[in-house]
Amino acid sequence: MKALSKYFKKHKGKIIFYLFMYVVFYALTIYASLIVSEYLSSITENLVNESWRQLILLLSILVLAYAAHYILYMVGVMIEYRLMLDVKKDLMETLLKIKSLAISKSSSGELVSRIATDPDLLVGKLETLIATTANAISYFATLCILVVINVWVGLISVGFLVAIALFEIIRARSNKKYRRLEKQADDEAVSFTNEVVRSEKDIKGQGLERGLKEIAFGKFNKKVKIYRRRHFRSISLWFARSLMTVVYIAVLLYVGMILLNQGAIALANFIFIFTNREALQNVVWQYSNIMLDYGEIKVLTDRMFEITDERKYPTEKFGNKTIKKIKGNITFKNLSFNYVKGKNILKNVDLEIKENQFVAFVGKSGCGKSTLLGLIAKIYEPEQGNIYLDGKNINSLTKDCLRNNINYLNQFPYIFNLSIRDNMRLINPDVTEEEIIQALKSVDLWDGCINLMPQGIDTMIGENGVSLSGGQKQRLCIARSFLKDSKIMLFDESTSSLDNIAQEKIIKHIEENKGNKTIVMVAHRLTTIKNADKIFFIENGTIADSGKFDELINRNSSFKNIFEGEL
C-alpha cells in the first residue's frame, strides 16, 4: 500500500472533496428519512398543513441529495481516470527499463496482466473502498441517532452488530485467502492463453490441439474450483447472517410494539428506526467490505508494483558520461556471459572492431553470435569482463549516448499493430513521407507491394505484421532501421527470410555505408559476409579464428564446412 501513497497525495484535494460530498449526500438522505417519518405521522394525525410543509421540504431535500450524488459521481470518475492513467504510465515506464534477461525469464501473460488489467481492477477497488469507508462512517452516525432516540433499541442493535461482526470477520479472512489463490490461477490461465494465441500457426501445423486443450482445461478448471469454493463458503456465511437478521427484525418489532403501547417512543421515531434498520447491518457489512477491499487492493498492489522490485525485475543501469562524437571503435576484454548461472555461452572473449569496419560473426547455431550483438547494445550485461566504446566502458555511458548511436536489428524484429507509417515513425518521429517511401524502395517493398495497397503507407498491418509475409515483415523492419542514422549498425541474421534478389539489394544498401559506419553482422549466408573487412569465427563460446573470408576458407576446415553448400 505504501507504493500507492504518492498517487493519493497527488489527488488528495479531489479525494477529500469526494469524501465531503459523500457525507453531505448521506446527511441529506438521513434528514429526508426523518422528514418521511414525521410526514407519515402527520398524515395519521390528520395534520394537513403540517404534512404539506413536510412534503415540500422533503422534495427540496431530495433534489439537493441527488445533486450532491451527481457531483459525487463526477468527482469519483475524475479520480478514477487520473489514478488509472498515472499508475499505468509509471508501470509502462518501469517495464521499458527492466533488463531483457529478466523479462525473458518471466511469464509474458503475467506481465501484461499486471500492467494492462490490474490497474483497472485496483482503481475500481480503491473507489469502492473510499465509498465504503464513507458509508461506514455514515451508518455509524445512524446507529448513534438510534441510541439517542431510544436506549433499549440502541442496545439491541449493538448486540446484533456484535453477533454479525463475527460472521463477517470469518468471511473476510476466507475471501482474502481464496482471492489470492484465484488470482494466481488466473495468471497461469492468461499466460497460457497468450502463448496459444501467439503460436496458433505451429499448433495447427503440427496438430497440437488435443494436448493443448487438455492443458488449457486443467488451468481453467483450477481457477473455477477455487472460485467455486470461495463463493460456496461466502454464501453459506451470508445465509447464516441473514437468519440472524430475521431474528433481529422480530425482536425489534416486538420491543417496538411494547414501547409504543407504553408511550415510551413516538410513532415517527419508531418508523425512522425500522426504515433505517438496514443501516445497522451495513455498519458491519461495510466494515467487512473495507477489510475485503483492503485485502484485494493489497494483493493487486503487491502484484503490480512487484515490477518495480529490483530483486525480481532488475532494471537497466546506465552511467552519466557521454561521447561528443562517436567514432565506432568496439572492444571486448576478457568477457564471459551466461543466461543460466554456471553455463557460460561466451568465455573470456577478447576482440576489437575498429571504426568504420564491416565485420561479421560466424559460427554454428548457439555458439553466442547473437549474444555478442546484444552485449554491444547493452541489452545483456556480461557476467565478467567489459565492453568499451571508443575507449569508454559502455556501463559508464548515458542511455541516450549509447542507444542513439547504435542501430540493432535482431533476428526476429517485431511489427506493431499500427499503420506502416506509424511503424516507421517509431524509430524517427521526424521522418518525412518521402524518406519513408525511399526506405521502403531500398528493401524492394514499395513498387508492386505497399504502393498498391488501398491506404498505402497508412495501411494497418495487424499484430506483429500478421497481414504481411515473413519476408515482407523482415524487409519492413530493415527499412525502419535504415531511418535511424546511427554510427554503429548491428544486424542479426536480418536477411534470413529473404529471397536472393531482395537480399542482394539490401546487402548492397548496407555496404553503401561501408567506410562511414561500423557495421557488425551475424549471418549464415555466404553472400552476406564475403565482403566483410574481418570475420570472427566463434566456436564453443570463444573466438576460434579471425580474418578475411578467403583467409579463413583456406586455413580453417570448421569455418569452411559452414559454407560448403554455397562454395
CATH code (residue 374): 3.40.50.300
Q: Report the pLDDT value the prediction gives residue 277, as an integer from 0 to 100.
A: 66
170 assigned to some structural domain: yes
Q: Identify the residue with better confidence: 548 or 43.
A: 548
What is the domain extent for residue 433?
A: 330-562
Q: Identify the residue with better confidence: 325 or 310.
A: 325
Same domain, 289 and 393: no
Mean pLDDT of 508-524: 80
> Which range among 142-146, 278-282, 371-375 shows the weakest confidence by mean pLDDT?
278-282
| pTM for the structure as a whole | 0.68
For 106-149, the pLDDT digits (tens) are: 766 677 777 877 887 887 777 777 767 766 666 666 667 666 66
Same domain, 353 and 234: no
Q: Identify the residue with better confidence: 561 or 263.
A: 561
For 189-217, the pLDDT digits (tens) are: 777 777 777 666 666 665 667 767 777 88
Same domain, 421 and 552: yes
Q: Report the pLDDT value the prediction gives residue 392, as an integer from 0 to 100.
A: 94
- What is the percent of the chain where pLDDT is above 90? 15
Reduced to 3 states (helix: H, G, I; strand: E, B; else coil), residue 487 is coil
The DSSP result for 130-195, as a single string, is HHHHHHHHHHHHHHHHHHHH-HHHHHHHHHHHHHHHHHHHHHHHHHHHHHHHHHHHHHHHHHHHHH
Mean pLDDT of 158-178: 72
Tally of structural domains, the chain: 2
Terminal alpha carbon distance of the chain: 65
Q: Using the structure block, give the residue that is written with the C-alpha cell 547473437.
A: 370
Same domain, 406 and 272: no
- Count of CB atoms situated within 10 Å of the CB of 179: 18
What CATH number is attached to the domain comprising 89?
A: 1.20.1560.10
314 assigned to some structural domain: no
Question: DSSP assignment, residue 410?
Answer: -
514 assigned to some structural domain: yes
Same domain, 175 and 28: yes
316 assigned to some structural domain: no
CA nearest 110: which of 313, 293, 294, 338? 313
What is the rounded distance in angstroms from the CA atom of residue 279 to the CA atom of residue 272? Answer: 11
Reduced to 3 states (helix: H, G, I; strand: E, B; else coil), residue 381 is coil
Same domain, 302 and 345: no
203 assigned to some structural domain: yes
325 assigned to some structural domain: no
26 assigned to some structural domain: yes
59 assigned to some structural domain: yes
